[in-house]
Amino acid sequence: MMARPDLFVIGRMLEALGPAPLRRTQLQQKAGLNYTVFQRYLEFLIHLGLIANSAEEEGRLALTPKGAEALRFLSEGLTRIFGTEGPPQRLRDPRAVDPRAAL
């Protein structure tokens, strides 16, 4: 179990799976995560029942009904907090943070 999961990472993973089932590598790339972080979050989301192996397409992952509900809940909550434009880019994608900006 994760101590403090990042809701933006969870949201990116669930959102990437929203349209259609994906292979693990495709999901990792769409979510923009390195392998170690991806594996940890994938295991966590499968444990929670938000993601499962696709029943229709072998070797692919899909959102479960519970995962679709979680995605909707996260989207609505983040929209309430940040408005319709969503969170600032630096919060949505940690790769977008410029390390020199902290200086």
**Sequence ranges of the domains in the chain:** 7-87
Please give the pLDDT value at position 3: 77
Q: Confidence class of residue 77 from pLDDT cuts 50, 70 and 90?
A: confident
- The DSSP secondary structure of 28-61, one letter per residue, reads HHHHT--HHHHHHHHHHHHHHTSEEE-SSSTT-E
Predicted confidence (pLDDT) at residue 52 exceeds the cutoff of 60: yes
**Does the pLDDT of residue 48 top 70, yes or no?**
yes
DSSP 22: B
Least confident of 33-37, 39-43, 91-95: 91-95
Whether 17 and 26 have beta carbons less than 8 Å apart is answered as: no
State what percent of residues in the chain have pLDDT above 90.
58
> How would residue 97 be classed by pLDDT, with cut points 50, 70 and 90?
very low
CATH topology of domain 7-87: Arc Repressor Mutant, subunit A (1.10.10)
What's this model's pTM, rounded to 2 decimal places? Answer: 0.76
